[in-house]
Amino acid sequence: MCLVLAALSGRNARADEKRTDEKSADEKIDAKLLALHRDEAQRWEMFVDPDRTKKAEFVSEPVYRWTNLARANGQSGAMFVWSYGGRPVALGGVFSNPEQGRRVVMHEFHALGPLRLFPRFRDAKQEWLPGAGVPLFALPDAPTPEKTAARRILQMRELARKFTAYTLDDGGTRWQLRMLSRPLYRYDKPEGEVLDGALFAFVSDAETDPEIVLILEAIKEEEKQTWRYRPVRFSISSLYVQYQEKEIWTSLRDDPTGPFGNPDNTYGLIRDRLIDELPELR
């Protein structure tokens, strides 16, 4: 009996060592991918004036990370914010996946507010030049924003749950989207007319990368305080958003006014380049 117990104990110990080694390897891969995606994002500089003297701050900690094993041999990515005056002005996703024994790097961006952006991509010929800002819409029948930041975030969560969304892919298949329970990003001390705001993400049950990002902001206009909203695309599919079961926003892939209904180029998707595959993933 002692010999049997000793053998079982030995096998369990080896299994534990194997799991530890696998976890350590996964953590190394995760760290390498994060470093790659952060370095790629940092190559972008976002300015809010045409002379490029007013630079937005790059927030180095990603607001969201995702993995999609079902697409393009396994994609992984990270999303980052650029902020000006305490308010996010751009949201950028950098993602990558294996391709022909190497790794393709993709960049995906959307402007987030009324200020027009003038980006600059360091050390590269790629270009993303939005032609306008992104205005927000008045939220119909919304209550007055709460007085404290702690109560406003609860109010934002409640308002966000009233939005629903779905997407149609190239084949016409409908994918219902679900909102992540926590906002990607919260900004409760911006400058100017914005009192508070947050970014909420919609994802598909088949994927984890955001398809739509919803901006919710409390605004002060003279003596009045109101809520505004704006969905923005992070997908090449046709997108549909409802508020209290009424459709209030669409962005169609084949919109005749511009690719993805995006005539002002406020959304950008760029295939940057192929790089050598990470040694840990070969």
The 10s digit of each residue's pLDDT in 33-79 is 999 999 999 999 999 999 999 999 999 999 999 987 767 677 899 99
Q: CA 185 to CA 111: how far, in whole Å?
A: 15
Q: CA 238 to CA 235: how far, in whole Å?
A: 8
Q: State pLDDT tens for residues 133-188.
A: 999 999 988 999 999 999 999 999 999 999 999 998 888 889 999 999 899 999 98
User: Given pLDDT bands bounded at 50, 70 and 90, which one contains residue 17?
Assistant: very low
Q: Say if residue 8's pLDDT is above 60.
A: no
The contacts of residue 66 (CB under 8 Å, 6+ apart) are 76, 77, 78, 79, 95, 203, 207, 208, 209, 210
Q: CA 180 to CA 202: how far, in whole Å?
A: 6
The domain segmentation of the chain, as residue ranges, is 1-133+264-282, 135-257
- Compute the half-sphere exposure of residue 208: CA atoms within 13 Å on the CB side of its CA: 14
Q: Say if residue 234's pLDDT is above 70.
A: yes
Give the H/E segment covering residue 195.
strand 194-204
Question: CB of 34 within 8 A of CB of 94?
Answer: no
Q: State pLDDT tens for residues 176-203.
A: 999 998 999 999 888 889 999 999 999 9
The contacts of residue 110 (CB under 8 Å, 6+ apart) are 90, 91, 134, 213, 232, 233, 234, 266, 267, 268
Provide mean pLDDT across the span 20-39: 81
Q: What is the mean pLDDT of the chain?
A: 88
Q: Is the pTM here over 0.95, yes or no?
A: no
b/e per residue, 135-151, with b = 16+ CB within 10 A? ebeebeebeebbeeeee
Q: Determine the 3-state secondary structure of 226 from DSSP.
A: strand
Q: CA 141 to CA 271: how far, in whole Å?
A: 41
Give the H/E segment covering residue 150.
helix 149-160
DSSP-assigned letter for residue 55: B
Q: CA 189 to CA 127: how far, in whole Å?
A: 32
